């Protein structure tokens, strides 16, 4: 199975001529088959970030509360009480298209390992999903598999899945996006890093055995799909959440001792990337003997061992003489434990198998001379700002609202989250559907974390810079809307083929927008993931910089949800101009996907949000919902549906057309319920924050400003209908 190494094979492995020449230079000879494999995965887009690195550097990553920014397995921020939150989001897009259940399941497994490898107990999972058109026959099966996979894995490991988002668009027909996020908690002084140290220290393999799973998965994740992808696909990785659960418990148990020098999960490119990265970061060498790697199959080659992406495995460097302690723990949990090598002072990775040296590569150039491209970019042309007064409303408010609430992008996701265990752990304060961000309390403490994922890809397509900014701002807004102080984000940059200047231009612009928002909102990026080449037959996805936001509440009891209580005044905070460009109303009611997306004014965003948060913490705001997809009327309807309490809305101002006022998607707004609008608005005016009373809550109906009345039951039926009806009839398991 080992083939002759040459230019042609290198190309098959995803290395271009220039990259292959650099390999020859570094090695000073023709690399062995295994060595070529190592180079090709380490230099794949997925592992090397060769197209994105120059841009990612622009993101702000620092704040006084940031303990570890990007570069570690996950980001780490201090949250008070001597604790740190450790979190990251990661994509499993390609595998989920090939095999939705296992692709999504192993995506959850992978991100969990990134977090507990740093010493954190995972306390919450979220997922950001994008699917093709519901009318595409394949979409339903992908949704079914992905949702079952996420639930199947997360429910079994016992980490609550507390939030996420779902969009549909034909641009994802051939490339669904599955971005999974995990959040964990550790004491700030017990965080485990991956830099290897200590010449002679044992390198230990723990977890599941190695099979021929997913070989070249990392290179696959760095390539476009074409009609032959189904043939070329590697053996699909199957997740084993039970083993993962054991691995979590065993690792945490070992981490409570002082045996570990460094630890890293085996993710993409498995043993190769974990060993190369650990040794590289520590500036040491590493020697591996593959004869000691626990194998699931017979006759595996060095190449296969090094590139396998078998799941539920970790690599660690132990302190000398601590092997017995560690071994006992892993044996207790019935997990494989094997010393497969040692740290050396050679600065090289040396791989032995069956008495032969199969690879011997200097680590410094393998890491430092990884390709880095400043690919050409082309700016997305700006779209025209639409004049709301010239867009006709043919449906009216009542019918428009009902249609919007029932559309795939706005309808209830209960069908989805009802399959995710959101309460295990007993700390979930706000479950899906209750608040703009999930709220999870820390066991034994008052403190809680608020968590959200956000991105509006249609804005990003129309204006990637504004879209990137908006995604960060919306995450910040969602955390603020529960009363949390936003601390940091993780991101998952999902884009098309970076070799196309328009796509690279989208990427660069999105980063610019994100960076500006992170800066203005004190909301740094602490971890992230890039997924490029999301294209099938030349057709790319919508640019999708998914943002995972994390915030903290000192007292979980102060968190508010969006369920509307009875007999309160309803106030909208922030200015409503009636921005219809790229709105869902424009798309769903008028069939148009055009116009400039709503602009984000970061100073206004911050002022509005800081005000809202202060009024939540003072207890004045009893319910709060940010205004996003669908605009003001949809936001109020969602609040009413959440609690079953209706509202009577007042007339809109004369200078804005009704449909634009109620369905426009102006940014930086919140709908809040307060006992006394007059006094509330006096405070807001003093703070320079626009606030307008738009109605009063109570009863079982929503009464619209044009006199239309809809019962909450009717709205709920409209809202809840789509998913179950769409999924019915396909119970394939």
Ligand X SMILES: Nc1ncnc2c1ncn2[C@@H]1O[C@H](COP(=O)(O)OP(=O)(O)O)[C@@H](O)[C@H]1O
Q: Binds 297, which of ligand X, another protein, Mg ion, none (CB < 5 to 8 A, cut-off by type)?
A: another protein
In the region spanning residues 471 to 490, those forming contacts with Mg ion, defined by CB under 5 A, are 478
The residue (of 436 and 701) whose beta carbon lies closer to ligand X is 436
Say whether residue 213 binds ligand X (CB under 6 A): no
Angle formed at CA 307 by CA 301 and CA 312, multiple of 5 degrees: 110
Q: Which of 277, 436, 463, 605 binds ligand X (CB under 6 A)?
A: 436
Query: How many Å separate Cα 298 from the centre of its chain?
Result: 37
Residues that contact ligand X, how many (by CB under 6 A): 20
Q: Binds 733, which of ligand X, another protein, Mg ion, none (CB < 5 to 8 A, cut-off by type)?
A: another protein
The residue (of 474 and 701) whose beta carbon lies closer to ligand X is 474
The residue (of 72 and 436) whose beta carbon lies closer to ligand X is 436
Site string for ligand X, 619-648 (x = CB under 6 A): -------x-xx-------------------
Q: Is position 68 annotated as part of the catalytic site?
A: no
Q: Which of 166, 584, 649, 715 binds ligand X (CB under 6 A)?
A: 166
The residue (of 121 and 348) whose beta carbon lies closer to another protein is 121
Query: CB of 690: closest distance to another protein in angstroms?
Result: 33
Q: Which of 45, 72, 165, 535 binds ligand X (CB under 6 A)?
A: 165
Binding site residues, another protein, CB under 8 A: 98-99, 102, 148, 151-152, 155-158, 208, 211-213, 233, 235-243, 245-246, 296-297, 310-311, 333-334, 417-429, 431, 441, 443, 556-557, 729-733
Query: CB of 626: closest distance to Mg ion in angstroms?
Result: 7
Query: CB of 94: closest distance to another protein in angstroms?
Result: 13
The residue (of 326 and 671) whose beta carbon lies closer to ligand X is 671
Bridge pairing between strands 701-703 and 709-711 = antiparallel
Three-class SS of 19-34: HHHHHHHHHCCCCCHH
The residue (of 52 and 308) whose beta carbon lies closer to another protein is 308
Query: CB of 343: closest distance to ligand X in angstroms?
Result: 41
Say whether residue 173 binds Mg ion (CB under 5 A): no
* Largest separation between any pair of C-alpha atoms in the chain: 84
- Binding part of the chain for Mg ion, among 33-41, 196-204, 447-455, 532-540 by CB under 5 A, reads 447-455
Q: Binds 298, which of Mg ion, another protein, ligand X, none (CB < 5 to 8 A, cut-off by type)?
A: none
The residue (of 61 and 478) whose beta carbon lies closer to ligand X is 478
**CB burial string 675-704: b at 16+ within 10 A, e below:** eebeebbebbeeeebbbbebbbbebebbbb
Strand order in the sheet with 670-674: 623-626, 670-674, 569-573, 691-697, 647-649, 701-703, 709-711
DSSP 292: G
Query: CB of 418: closest distance to another protein in angstroms?
Result: 5
Q: Binds 629, which of ligand X, another protein, Mg ion, none (CB < 5 to 8 A, cut-off by type)?
A: ligand X
Query: CB of 565: closest distance to Mg ion in angstroms?
Result: 22
Q: Which residues pair with 359 in a beta bridge?
A: 351
In the region spanning residues 102 to 161, those forming contacts with ligand X, defined by CB under 6 A, are 127, 129, 161
Site string for Mg ion, 590-609 (x = CB under 5 A): --------------------
Strand order in the sheet with 336-344: 260-265, 313-318, 202-207, 336-344, 285-289, 348-353, 356-362
In the region spanning residues 449 to 468, those forming contacts with Mg ion, defined by CB under 5 A, are 454
Query: CB of 473: closest distance to ligand X in angstroms?
Result: 12
Q: Which residues pair with 353 in a beta bridge?
A: 356
User: Residue 224's closest CA among 531, 678, 542?
Assistant: 531
Active-site residue (options: 92, 216, 625, 659): 92
Q: Binds 334, which of Mg ion, ligand X, another protein, none (CB < 5 to 8 A, cut-off by type)?
A: another protein
* Residue least distant from ligand X (Cβ): 164
Bridge pairing between strands 544-553 and 485-494 = antiparallel
The residue (of 471 and 532) whose beta carbon lies closer to ligand X is 471
- Binding part of the chain for Mg ion, among 103-111, 446-454, 463-471, 682-690 by CB under 5 A, reads 446-454
Query: CB of 574: closest distance to Mg ion in angstroms?
Result: 16
| CA 460, 463, 466, 470 torsion-angle sign | negative
- Binding part of the chain for ligand X, among 191-199, 255-263, 433-441, 585-593 by CB under 6 A, reads 433-441
Is there a contact between 475 and 546 (Cβ–Cβ < 8 Å)? no
Query: How many Å separate Cα 72 from the centre of its chain?
Result: 16
Angle between helices 677-686 and 602-617 (to 10 degrees): 130
Q: Which of 416, 487, 489, 530 binds ligand X (CB under 6 A)?
A: 416
H/E stretch holding 326 reads: helix 323-332
The residue (of 401 and 438) whose beta carbon lies closer to ligand X is 438
Strand, helix or coil for residue 173: coil
Query: CB of 292: closest distance to another protein in angstroms?
Result: 20
Query: What tokens does 322 get?
Result: 């601590």
Say whether residue 561 binds ligand X (CB under 6 A): no
| CA 430, 431, 433, 439 torsion-angle sign | positive
Q: Is position 719 annotated as part of the catalytic site?
A: no
Residues that contact Mg ion, how many (by CB under 5 A): 2
Query: How many Å separate Cα 565 from the centre of its chain?
Result: 32
User: Residue 224's closest CA among 613, 617, 631, 503?
Assistant: 503
Task: For residue 366, give Cα distances in angstroms to 25, 47, 358, 704.
Answer: 11, 12, 16, 64
Bridge pairing between strands 544-553 and 448-454 = antiparallel
Three-class SS of 511-533: HHHHHHHHHHHCCCEEEEEEECC
Strand order in the sheet with 75-80: 66-68, 75-80, 83-91, 177-187, 121-131, 161-168
Catalytic residues: 46, 92
Residues in contact with ligand X by CB under 6 A are 127, 129, 161, 163-166, 413, 416-417, 420, 432-433, 436, 438, 454, 478, 626, 628-629
Residues in contact with Mg ion by CB under 5 A are 454, 478
């Amino acid at each position: 199975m080992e083939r002759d190494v040459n230019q042609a094979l290198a190309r098959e492995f995803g290395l271009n001529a220039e990259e292959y020449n650099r390999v020859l230079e570094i090695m000073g000879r023709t690399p062995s088959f295994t060595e070529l494999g190592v180079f090709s995965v380490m230099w794949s887009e997925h592992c090397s970030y060769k197209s994105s690195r120059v841009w990612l550097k622009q993101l702000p990553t620092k704040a006084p509360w940031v303990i570890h920014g990007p570069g570690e397995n996950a980001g780490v921020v201090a949250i008070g009480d001597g604790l740190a939150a450790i979190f990251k989001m990661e994509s499993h897009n390609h595998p989920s298209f090939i095999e939705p259940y296992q692709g999504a399941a192993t995506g959850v497994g992978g991100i969990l390992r990134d977090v507990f490898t740093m010493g954190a107990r995972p306390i919450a999972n979220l997922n950001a999903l994008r699917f093709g058109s519901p009318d595409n026959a394949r979409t339903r099966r992908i949704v079914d598999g992905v949702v079952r996979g996420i639930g199947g894995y997360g429910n079994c490991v016992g980490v609550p899945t507390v939030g996420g988002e779902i969009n549909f668009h034909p641009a994802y027909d051939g490339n669904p996006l599955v971005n999974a996020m995990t959040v964990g908690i550790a004491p700030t002084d017990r965080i485990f890093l991956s830099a290897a140290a200590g010449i002679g220290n044992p390198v230990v393999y723990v977890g599941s055995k190695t099979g021929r799973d997913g070989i070249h998965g990392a290179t696959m994740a760095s390539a476009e799909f074409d009609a032959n992808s189904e043939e070329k696909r590697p053996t699909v990785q199957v997740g084993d959440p039970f083993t993962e659960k054991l691995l979590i418990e065993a690792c945490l148990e070992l981490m409570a001792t002082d045996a570990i020098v460094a630890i890293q999960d085996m993710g993409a490119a498995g043993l190769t990337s974990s060993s190369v990265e650990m040794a590289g970061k520590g500036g040491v060498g590493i020697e591996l003997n593959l004869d000691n790697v626990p194998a699931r199959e017979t006759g595996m080659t060095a190449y296969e061992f090094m590139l396998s992406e078998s799941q539920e495995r970790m690599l660690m460097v132990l302190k000398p003489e601590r092997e017995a302690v560690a071994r006992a723990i892993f044996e207790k949990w019935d997990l494989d434990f094997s010393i497969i090598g040692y740290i050396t002072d050679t600065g090289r990775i040396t791989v032995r198998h069956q008495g032969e040296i199969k690879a011997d590569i200097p680590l410094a150039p393998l890491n430092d001379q990884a390709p880095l491209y400043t690919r050409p970019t082309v700016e997305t042309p700006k779209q025209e700002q639409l004049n709301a007064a010239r867009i006709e409303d043919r449906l009216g408010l009542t019918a428009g609202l009902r249609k919007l609430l029932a559309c795939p992008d706005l309808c209830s996701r209960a069908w989805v989250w009802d399959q995710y265990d959101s309460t295990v752990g007993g700390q979930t304060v706000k479950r899906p559907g209750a608040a703009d961000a999930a709220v999870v309390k820390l066991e034994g403490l008052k403190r809680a974390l608020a968590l959200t994922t956000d991105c509006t890809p249609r804005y990003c397509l129309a204006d990637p810079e504004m879209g990137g900014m908006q995604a960060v701002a919306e995450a910040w807004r969602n955390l603020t809307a529960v009363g949390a102080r936003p601390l940091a984000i993780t991101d998952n940059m999902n884009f098309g083929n970076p070799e196309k200047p328009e796509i690279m231009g989208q990427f660069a612009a999105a980063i610019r927008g994100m960076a500006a928002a992170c800066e203005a909102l004190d909301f740094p990026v602490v971890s992230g993931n890039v997924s490029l080449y999301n294209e099938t037959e030349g057709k790319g996805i919508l640019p999708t910089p998914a943002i995972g936001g994390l915030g903290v509440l000192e007292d979980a009891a102060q968190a508010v949800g969006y369920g509307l209580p009875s007999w309160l005044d309803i106030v909208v905070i922030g200015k409503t101009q009636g921005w219809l460009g790229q709105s869902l109303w424009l798309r769903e009611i008028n069939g148009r996907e055009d116009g400039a997306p709503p602009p984000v004014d970061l100073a206004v965003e911050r002022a509005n949000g800081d005000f809202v948060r202060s009024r939540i913490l003072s207890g004045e705001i009893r319910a709060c919902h940010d205004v996003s997809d669908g605009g003001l009327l949809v936001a109020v309807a969602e609040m009413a549906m959440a609690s079953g309490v209706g509202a009577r809305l007042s007339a809109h101002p004369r200078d804005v057309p009704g449909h634009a006022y109620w369905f426009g998607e102006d940014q930086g707004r919140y709908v809040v319920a307060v006992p006394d609008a007059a006094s509330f608005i006096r405070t807001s005016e003093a703070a320079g924050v626009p606030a307008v009373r738009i109605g009063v809550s109570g009863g079982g109906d929503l009464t619209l400003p044009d006199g239309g009345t809809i019962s909450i039951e009717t709205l709920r039926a409209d809202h809840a209908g789509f998913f179950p009806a769409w999924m019915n009839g396909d119970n394939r398991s």
